[in-house]
Amino acid sequence: MLEFEAKDRYERERAARHSASMRAEDEQRRHEDMELQARTAYLRMRLGDYYVRSGKINRAIAEYKRAVKMDQSNALFRTRLGDAYLLKDMVEQAMAQYRRAIKSDPELADPRVSLGDVYRRFGMNVEALDQYRIAARVEPARAYYRFKLADTLAAVDHLADAINEMRTVVSLAPNDAFYRFRMGDLYLRTGEVEAAVSELLRATKLAPYDSYYMIRYAVASLAIGQFVRAIDALRSAIRMEPRNRCYRVLLADAYANAGLEEEAAQMLADTGELDSYDLEFVGRRRLELNRAEHDAAGGCGRRGRSSTAGTDRSSATK
């Protein structure tokens, strides 16, 4: 009897050990399956990214959908799917994915920024600001997200806040020409012309083959009487785009501002007529110059030629 009980106890213990071992193996297989599925879903997303870069948006959408189906709580997969929908101008579907992504992971910045971009597209700047602020809080070191916030603040005329945010942006990405340019543009809007010139100059140094940066720097330089620098910048822009008639007209304006009337008249004679686009571009730059001159003069009207105009004349003609 005792022998039978001992054998029975042994069998029960062995069965329990076997059952525990099986459960452990099942749990391990389940984890392995989950890891495999996660890796497969991630590869689906990467394949979708490849299709986006290749311009095959429908294929990208199909891959992102497969990734989402494998892991419906993954906010990044849903964000990618929303971005692809937006490329097809499927706005409602995109916004639905962004909102579900935010619900899944409120601290992920990507869907916040994408949703903010949609809001801006439809002029909903206040709603966009809410999303960009959260994204900037979640990832404060991402210059691009901080720029989105600064740009939207400027769009709603919160210029002081926009400038403070842009200062953070350029501190995070000091060698980005575009951010320097936008910083200079903001300074022009607030009437800080010398600060604008400094930032625009940095932009031209960082992107020396960008003729538009050269033009904006030249116009701001003219406003504070830096005729030689303005003319040099305009000449550089023309060397980059020798057929651009707008740049030639602006160079003629710079010559006239520097007192080089003959050079201005000759430049205009060599330029020919402007089309409607050219006239609009030149008109914007002239308006920008007038405003900057007014601001540089402390709001007292058009700035007179600097006391170094004689030096400028001799230097500019070299």
Confidence class for position 303, pLDDT limits 50, 70, 90? very low
Distance CA 8, CA 15 (A): 11
Contact 267, 255 (CB under 8 A): yes
The per-type count for the chain, helices as H runs and strands as E runs, is 16, 0
pLDDT > 70? residue 232:
yes
Other CB atoms within a 10 A radius of the CB of residue 183 amount to: 25
The reported pLDDT for the residue numbered 11 is 60
Residue, of 14 and 67, whose pLDDT is higher: 67
Distance CA 236, CA 214 (A): 7
Determine what percent of the chain is predicted with pLDDT higher than 70. Answer: 82
* CATH annotation of 196-318: 1.25.40.10
The reported pLDDT for the residue numbered 170 is 97
Distance CA 122, CA 70 (A): 33
pLDDT > 90? residue 20:
no
* Burial of 96: CB neighbours in 10 Å, binned 0-12, 13-18, 19+: middle
pTM exceeding 0.75: yes
Distance CA 117, CA 114 (A): 5
298 phi and psi angles, rounded to 5 deg = 75, 25
Question: Average per-residue pLDDT in the chain?
Answer: 87
Mean pLDDT on 22-34: 50
Confidence class for position 140, pLDDT limits 50, 70, 90? very high
Q: Where are the domains of the chain?
A: 196-318
Distance CA 63, CA 73 (A): 16
Confidence class for position 298, pLDDT limits 50, 70, 90? confident
The reported pLDDT for the residue numbered 311 is 38
> Is residue 275 classed as helix, strand or coil in its secondary structure?
coil
Amino acid at 95: M
Confidence class for position 21, pLDDT limits 50, 70, 90? low
What pLDDT, in 10s, does the model give residues 174-228?
Answer: 999 999 999 999 999 999 999 999 999 999 999 999 999 999 999 999 999 999 9
Contact 119, 125 (CB under 8 A): yes
Determine what percent of the chain is predicted with pLDDT higher than 90. Answer: 74
